[in-house]
């Protein structure tokens, strides 16, 4: 059986935080289904390595590498401008990059860390969406994904500010979905559970986490970066043509009531 339901041929996808982990997996999934992907993160050499890997697997021109620190508006604009120069208008945005420089109670977080978390995890996504929206509105179609977290649905004595930023991302998604829906642009949040990535290593790389996964997560395992290929392709493609403004958990069932 053949289907075009997940076909992304001719689409241009921009993915931040794409040099490793979930971002890399989502970029690979989009490229596998025909999209031209921009691999972006702070370190150009890491981006180039991923782009080379994708080009070798899916054909020359499938991926390009563009370095960007999301904390700087001018670098985000340069990222979008360079994407236009290299690949053309943007059809798909995966705002996956984020930071968490502090573990501990909010009563102890330094102002610098608080500001960095909110700026990088919320404001940068807002900026990037503003920058790519005109491309999508001009075409009357497009898909934006923002990586949130299941942490958005609960309190934490170690990740409080991070969780606040991720709940704000869901609010951002909902408002953008409302604003841009009439122009044919869909906006959704992806909410990972506990995933075995470098970013979350402090949370999963211990015997307690493994025991908790084996006992309390319905699928009885921690998530893997590869688990995000499918959700990215689904949300980018016409398979999700009537899905917008949603916070979609990818958590093995651990947050099925969120």
The CB density around residue 191, as the number of other CB atoms within 10 Å, is: 24
Beta bridge partner(s), residue 15:
39, 94
Which of 177, 174, 23, 184 minimizes the C-alpha distance to 95? 23
> What is the per-residue DSSP string for 161-181?
HHHHHHHHHHHHHHHHHHHHG
Tokens of 82: 């360079």
pLDDT at 155 (0 to 100): 95
Pairing relation of β-strands 142-147 and 36-40?
unpaired
Measure Cα distances from 6 to 140, 150, 190, 196, 258 in Å.
19, 26, 18, 27, 28
> Which residues are marked as active site?
162
Q: Give me the domains of the chain, ranges plus CATH numbers.
A: 12-250 (3.40.50.720)
pLDDT at 198 (0 to 100): 64
pLDDT at 204 (0 to 100): 57
pLDDT at 221 (0 to 100): 85
pLDDT at 199 (0 to 100): 59
Distance (Å, whole) CA 150 – CA 124: 20
| Ordered per-residue pLDDT tens for the chain, 258 residues | 678 999 999 999 999 999 999 999 999 999 999 999 999 999 999 999 999 999 999 999 999 999 999 999 999 999 999 999 999 999 999 999 999 999 999 999 999 999 999 999 999 999 999 999 999 999 999 999 999 999 999 999 999 999 999 999 999 999 999 999 999 999 999 999 988 766 556 655 677 767 776 778 899 888 899 999 999 999 999 999 999 999 999 999 988 876
pLDDT at 205 (0 to 100): 66
């Amino acid at each position: 059986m053949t289907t075009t339901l997940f076909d992304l041929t001719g689409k241009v996808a921009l993915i931040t935080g794409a040099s490793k982990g979930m971002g890399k997996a989502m970029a690979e999934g989009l490229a596998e289904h025909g999209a031209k992907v921009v691999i972006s993160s702070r370190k150009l050499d890491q981006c180039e390595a991923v782009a080379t890997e994708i080009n070798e697997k899916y054909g020359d021109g499938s991926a390009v590498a563009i370095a960007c620190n999301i904390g700087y508006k001018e670098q985000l604009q340069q990222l979008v401008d360079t994407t236009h120069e290299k690949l053309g208008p943007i059809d798909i945005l995966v705002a996956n990059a984020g930071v968490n420089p502090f573990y501990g109670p909010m009563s102890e977080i330094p102002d610098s860390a608080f500001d960095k978390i909110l700026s990088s995890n919320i404001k940068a996504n807002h900026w990037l969406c503003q920058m790519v929206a005109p491309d999508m509105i001009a075409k009357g179609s497009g898909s934006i994904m923002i990586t949130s977290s299941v942490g958005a649905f609960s309190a934490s004595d170690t990740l409080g500010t991070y969780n606040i930023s991720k709940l704000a991302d869901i609010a951002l998604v909902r408002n953008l979905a409302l604003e841009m829906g009439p122009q044919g642009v869909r906006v959704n949040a992806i909410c990972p559970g506990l995933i075995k990535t470098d970013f979350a290593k402090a949370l999963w790389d211990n015997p307690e986490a493994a025991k908790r996964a084996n006992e309390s997560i319905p699928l009885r395992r921690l998530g893997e970066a590869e688990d995000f290929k499918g959700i990215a392709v689904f949300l980018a493609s016409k398979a999700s043509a009537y899905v917008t403004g949603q916070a979609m958990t990818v958590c093995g069932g651990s947050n099925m009531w969120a």
